[in-house]
């Protein structure tokens, strides 16, 4: 399956990729360069050039309009009535063509923005599909979701409105200056230039101040949600322990902090100096132009045109302060996306690994394990052996290392010390694909796709309807599936039917029957409320154990009791192993379970254990 994309070097070996799909991220590339690569990709370049050109033309049209208005007034003063119609037509065409130009411009920039969102999401998605399972095990779905939705969306906003508004602001600062130079005495450019210079400085300091406050508000709001959510979830606890006052106080502190941040934000916004600068510039440039007028260097119409040109500065002044926060957010978003995409996935494929059919003998030799970059030993000196077709039951409390132990077998993680042998061969000497295709894993919370039941069962292997029914029967799922209104065509999920944990487990078992792996790892944490369901789950598990090596993590005493080998784990160590009969006699911990649960005395238990 693992195809090698041309763009990837060897250390970018991934488990999945799409031929012809563009991937722009290159190791350690900066977010800005990555975004740029996206923006400039393919036909986008043409769009960008058009956007740039039309932005400039639109700004030029607006500026020209101001100058023409001034000239029109001049000619009226000179009582030139023949020119009236000429100016009316000219002003109308200039006045309308600028907005029309903008419509086209906006559409194109939207295409760019939406494309960026679409393509970045696609790249991110493909990249995640290509990551190894051990990578995915370490990710929180909520976190990945936040990246795929919000961070990607930020990139869209980055292009539209943020970047395009910056371009627009920039042109509506520069073009009027150029027009002033072209049409009016060049010294008139002085005041606006000083203004632009001071404006940029003031803006910079404003952004620096407002950023942290906005961030604080966002963080406070998040905490408000967390606190409220938690106290509503725990409402019966709060009530039964009479802690309402305390919870109210907790929330009050948070909303007060939010209020303070809100007021602080208001203070900073109130101090937005560019507004003052703009007003001062207007007054001073008016003064300047009047002085020139008194010297006879310009006309009244030109003063009006000049003031009109300067009125275009209003736009950048009022939009810049929110634009920059978007840019910052988008930058942070891109960084988060790249952070995930550039993570190396920890598959260490043995290129000379063997592909061969296994029979299912498993042997752990002195295996120890700690997670990468951690010194904390999750498993210590684990040794045991089970033969093909046998069942191993792993028992222990949460955190004792049961699940981790099973993950070492398919090399979702590699052992730190010792080795694991399957049919006498170290798992690291197998071709990964060959190894994994013969070992199935049914996890604790069985995942089913929001799809038809039949598609879920045949997910791993296309099969006929008859085959699906056959395996569903083996997994004791046929009965409850048939009783659903749409039978095997029933849709699972939010919009479809909700299945209980036991039912989901049996569908997963059916899926496993279909693929028929040599080794099955079953993390079984379901509980049946009634005995009939329990009967069915038991039958299904009994069936799947036949003719294959099964490792079962379970709380079911009935499954533990009959396993060929029971391993009792505690803090990563084996504290007892053997058959039920052996453990009843030799392990006090194991014996205690039965004594307590069934009110037996030790003698009686020992005789029963030998049955």
Partner 1 sequence: MAFIGLEAEKYDRIYQDRDLFRRIIGYFKNYKKKIIAITLLLTISSLIHAILPILITIAINSLEISTNIENFIIIILIMLSFNFLGFLINYFQQIKTSEAIGNVILDIRKDANNSVLNHDLSFFDQNPSGKIVSRINTDSQDFGRTMELLMEVISSCFVVVVFTIIMFFLNIFLSFIFMIIIPSFFIVAILFMKAARRRTILGQRAIASVNAFVKETYSGIQIAKTFSQEEKLFKEFEQVNNQSYKVNLKRAFLFNIIFPSLGIIQAFVLVLLIYFGGIDILKGTISIGNLNLFIQGTWLLTFPLFTIAAFWPQLQAGLASAERIFALIDTNPKVIQTDNIKPTKLKGKIEFKNLTFEYEEDKKVFENFSLTINPGESIAIVGHTGAGKSSLANLLARFYEFQAGDILIDDISIRQFDLSKYRKKIGIIPQTPFLWADTIENNIKYCCKNAEKEDITNALNQTGGAEWIEDLPNGLETYIRERGSLLSMGQRQLTVFSRVLLENPSILILDEATASIDPFTETRIQEALEKIMKGRTSIIIAHRLWTIRHVDRIIVLDHGKIVEEGNHQALISKGGIYANLYNTYFRHQSLDYIEKVRDL
Ranges within 16-55 binding partner 1 (CB under 8 A): 16, 18
Among the listed ranges 48-56, 272-280, 335-343, 463-471, the one in contact with partner 1 (CB under 8 A) is 272-280
Phi–psi pair at 373, nearest 5 degrees: 65, 20
Among the listed ranges 67-75, 180-188, 357-365, 481-489, the one in contact with partner 1 (CB under 8 A) is 67-75
Q: Which of 87, 96, 83 is nearest to 305 (CA)?
A: 87
Among the listed ranges 118-126, 204-212, 321-329, 418-426, the one in contact with partner 1 (CB under 8 A) is 118-126
Antiparallel, parallel or unpaired: β 391-395 and 425-426: unpaired
Please identify which residue in 106, 324, 413, 513 interacts with partner 1, judged by CB under 8 A.
106
x/- map, 319-358, partner 1, by CB under 8 A:
----------------------------------------
Residues of span 392-411 touching partner 1 by CB under 8 A? 395-400
Please identify which residue in 596, 601, 603, 607 interacts with partner 1, judged by CB under 8 A.
596
Q: Which of 284, 15, 286 is nearest to 134 (CA)?
A: 15
Among the listed ranges 175-183, 191-199, 366-374, 533-541, the one in contact with partner 1 (CB under 8 A) is 533-541
Cis peptide before 161 (omega within 30 of 0): yes
Cα 374–Cα 378–Cα 382 angle in degrees, nearest 5: 135
Question: Cβ of residue 353: shortest distance to partner 1, in angstroms?
Answer: 17
Residues of span 72-101 touching partner 1 by CB under 8 A? 72-73, 76-77, 79, 81, 84, 87-88, 91-92, 94-96, 98-100
Among the listed ranges 13-21, 30-38, 421-429, 480-488, the one in contact with partner 1 (CB under 8 A) is 13-21
Q: How many residues make contact with partner 1 (CB under 8 A)?
A: 161
> What residues contact residue 282 under an 8 Å CB cut-off, 6+ apart?
307, 310
Q: How many CA atoms lie within 13 A of 226 on its CB side?
A: 7
Q: Does 478 bind partner 1 (CB under 8 A)?
A: no
Question: Cβ of residue 254: shortest distance to partner 1, in angstroms?
Answer: 9
Please identify which residue in 36, 40, 53, 107 interacts with partner 1, judged by CB under 8 A.
107
CA distance 451 to 495: 10
CA distance 250 to 229: 12
Q: Does 218 bind partner 1 (CB under 8 A)?
A: no
Residues of span 538-557 touching partner 1 by CB under 8 A? 538-539, 542, 555-557
Which DSSP letter does residue 379 get? E
CA distance 388 to 546: 11
Q: Does 190 bind partner 1 (CB under 8 A)?
A: no
Residues of span 498-517 touching partner 1 by CB under 8 A? 515
Closest to partner 1 by CB, 348 vs 535, is: 535
Question: Cβ of residue 556: shortest distance to partner 1, in angstroms?
Answer: 8
Closest to partner 1 by CB, 56 vs 365, is: 56
Dmax (CA) of the chain: 124
Question: Cβ of residue 231: shortest distance to partner 1, in angstroms?
Answer: 7
Phi–psi pair at 474, nearest 5 degrees: -60, -35
Q: Does 189 bind partner 1 (CB under 8 A)?
A: no
Handedness of CA 600, 603, 607, 610 (dihedral sign): positive
Please identify which residue in 44, 55, 160, 302 interacts with partner 1, judged by CB under 8 A.
160
Closest to partner 1 by CB, 224 vs 363, is: 224
CA distance 329 to 594: 58
Question: Cβ of residue 547: shortest distance to partner 1, in angstroms?
Answer: 16
Which DSSP letter does residue 147 get? I
* Residue 445, token pair as written in the block: 């919370």
Q: Does 237 bind partner 1 (CB under 8 A)?
A: yes
Residues of span 435-464 touching partner 1 by CB under 8 A? 436-437, 440-441, 443, 447-450, 459-461
Question: Cβ of residue 228: shortest distance to partner 1, in angstroms?
Answer: 5
CA dihedral 11, 16, 21, 23 (to 10 degrees): -30
CA–centroid distance for 507 within its chain: 29
Q: Are 422 and 365 in contact (CB under 8 A)?
A: no
Q: Does 263 bind partner 1 (CB under 8 A)?
A: yes
> What residues contact residue 392 under an 8 Å CB cut-off, 6+ apart?
362, 384, 386, 549, 550, 551, 552, 563, 564, 565, 566, 567
Q: Are 476 and 539 in contact (CB under 8 A)?
A: yes
Q: Does 525 bind partner 1 (CB under 8 A)?
A: yes
| Residue 274 three-state SS | helix
Closest to partner 1 by CB, 171 vs 440, is: 440
Q: Does 234 bind partner 1 (CB under 8 A)?
A: yes
Question: Cβ of residue 271: shortest distance to partner 1, in angstroms?
Answer: 7
* Residue 235, token pair as written in the block: 């409402």
Please identify which residue in 51, 60, 67, 126 interacts with partner 1, judged by CB under 8 A.
126
Q: Are 439 and 517 in contact (CB under 8 A)?
A: yes
Closest to partner 1 by CB, 128 vs 379, is: 128
Question: Cβ of residue 514: shortest distance to partner 1, in angstroms?
Answer: 10
Q: Does 194 bind partner 1 (CB under 8 A)?
A: no
Q: Does 597 bind partner 1 (CB under 8 A)?
A: yes
Q: Does 4 bind partner 1 (CB under 8 A)?
A: no
Query: Where are the extended beta strands (E) located within 571-609?
Result: 573-578
Question: Cβ of residue 558: shortest distance to partner 1, in angstroms?
Answer: 4
> What residues contact residue 362 under an 8 Å CB cut-off, 6+ apart?
385, 386, 392, 409, 420, 421, 422, 519, 549, 551
Q: Does 103 bind partner 1 (CB under 8 A)?
A: yes
Question: Cβ of residue 262: shortest distance to partner 1, in angstroms?
Answer: 4
Phi–psi pair at 476, nearest 5 degrees: 60, 30
Instruction: Name the helix (H) or strand (E) containing 365.
Output: strand 362-370
Q: Does 370 bind partner 1 (CB under 8 A)?
A: no
């Amino acid at each position: 399956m693992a195809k090698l994309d041309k763009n990837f070097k060897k250390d970018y070996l991934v488990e999945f990729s799409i031929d012809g799909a563009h991937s722009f991220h290159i190791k350690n590339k900066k977010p800005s360069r990555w975004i740029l690569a996206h923006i400039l990709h393919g036909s986008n370049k043409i769009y960008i050039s058009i956007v740039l050109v039309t932005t400039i033309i639109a700004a030029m049209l607006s500026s020209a309009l101001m100058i023409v208005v001034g000239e029109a007034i001049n000619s009226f003063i000179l009582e030139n009535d023949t020119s009236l119609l000429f100016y009316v037509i000219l002003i109308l065409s200039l006045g309308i063509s600028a907005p029309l130009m903008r419509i086209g411009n906006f559409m194109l920039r939207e295409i760019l923005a939406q494309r960026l969102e679409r393509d970045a999401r696609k790249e991110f998605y493909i990249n995640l599909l290509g990551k190894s399972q051990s990578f995915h095990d370490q990710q929180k779905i909520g976190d990945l979701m936040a990246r795929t939705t919000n961070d990607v969306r930020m990139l869209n906003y980055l292009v539209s409105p943020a970047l395009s508004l910056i371009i627009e602001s920039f042109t509506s600062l520069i073009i009027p200056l150029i027009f002033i130079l072209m049409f009016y005495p060049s010294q008139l450019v002085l005041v606006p230039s000083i203004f632009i210079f001071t404006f940029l400085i003031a803006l910079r300091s404003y952004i620096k101040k407002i950023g942290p406050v906005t961030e604080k508000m966002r963080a406070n709001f998040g905490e408000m949600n967390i606190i409220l959510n938690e106290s509503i979830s725990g409402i019966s606890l709060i009530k039964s322990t009479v802690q309402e006052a305390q919870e109210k106080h907790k929330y009050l502190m948070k909303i007060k902090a939010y209020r303070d941040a809100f007021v602080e934000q208001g203070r900073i916004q109130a101090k937005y100096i560019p507004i003052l600068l703009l007003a001062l510039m207007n007054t001073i440039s008016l003064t300047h132009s009047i002085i020139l007028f008194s010297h006879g260097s310009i006309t009244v119409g030109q003063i009006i045109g000049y003031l009109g040109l300067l009125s275009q500065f209003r736009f950048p002044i009022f939009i810049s302060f929110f634009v920059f926060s978007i840019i910052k957010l988008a930058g942070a978003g891109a960084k988060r996306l790249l952070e995930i995409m550039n993570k190396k996935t920890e598959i260490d494929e043995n290129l000379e690994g063997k592909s061969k059919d296994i029979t299912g003998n498993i042997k752990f030799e002195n295996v120890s394990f700690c997670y990468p970059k951690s010194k904390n030993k999750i498993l210590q000196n684990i040794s045991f052996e089970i033969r093909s077709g046998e069942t191993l039951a792993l028992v222990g409390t949460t955190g004792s290392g049961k699940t981790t132990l099973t993950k070492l077998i398919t090399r979702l993680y590699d052992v730190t010390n010792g080795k694991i042998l399957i049919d006498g061969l170290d798992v690291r000497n197998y071709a990964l694909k060959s190894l994994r295709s013969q070992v199935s894993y049914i996890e604790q919370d069985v995942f089913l796709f929001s799809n038809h039941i039949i598609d879920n069962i045949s997910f791993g292997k296309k099969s006929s309807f008859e085959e699906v029914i056959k395996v569903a029967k083996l997994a004791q799922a046929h009965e409850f599936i048939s009783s659903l209104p749409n039978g095997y065509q029933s849709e699972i999920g939010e919009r479809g039917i909700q299945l209980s944990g036991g039912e989901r487990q049996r569908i997963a078992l059916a899926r496993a029957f279909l693929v028929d792996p040599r080794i099955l790892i079953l993390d079984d944490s379901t509980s049946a409320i009634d005995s009939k369901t329990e009967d069915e789950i038991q039958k299904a598990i009994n069936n799947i154990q036949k003719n294959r090596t099964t490792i079962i993590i379970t709380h079911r005493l009935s499954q533990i009791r009959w396993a060929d080998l029971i391993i009792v784990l505690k803090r990563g160590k084996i504290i007892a192993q053997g058959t039920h009969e052996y453990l009843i006699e030799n392990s006090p911990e194991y014996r205690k379970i039965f004594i307590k649960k069934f009110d037996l005395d030790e003698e009686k238990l020992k005789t029963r254990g030998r049955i």
